[in-house]
Amino acid sequence: MIHLETDSLRFEFQSKVAGFLKSSIKTLESPLSEVDAIEYKPSLFSTKLELRFKSLQHAQEFPEADANEVVSELKRRDRSDAKTFVRKVKLQLVSKDLDSMLEMTNETLGQ
């Protein structure tokens, strides 16, 4: 599960050991400022959620991480919610970028 917080993404997951034994629930939190991109990737046979971080540090704690990217295959029942979630995260990321640009502009103009 992924939760969108005010300034971060909070992840809750269980890893499978030997394909069937589940580990205890782990919780990770990553600041939105470290998220480079999030994508909803539908295809004919599966749908994936791709999350790319700006650095390797934030991705390394995920069992399915590859370099700075985490890819998770979605269950059919979760596809609609995932699509909405990705839109919300992207909106939050754009909002943070705009706030940062406005702040830089105001500093440049001496306001």
Q: How confident is the model at residue 20 (pLDDT cuts 50, 70, 90)?
A: low
Residue found under tokens 């971060």: 8
**Tokens coding 65:** 């991480």
88: left (phi over 0), alpha (psi -120 to 50) or beta: alpha
What are the φ/ψ torsions at residue 21 (nearest 5 degrees)? Answer: -80, 130
pLDDT: which is higher, 60 or 40: 40
pLDDT: which is higher, 87 or 16: 87
Q: Which segments of 23-111 are extended strands (E)?
A: 26-31, 35-42, 47-53, 65-66, 69-74
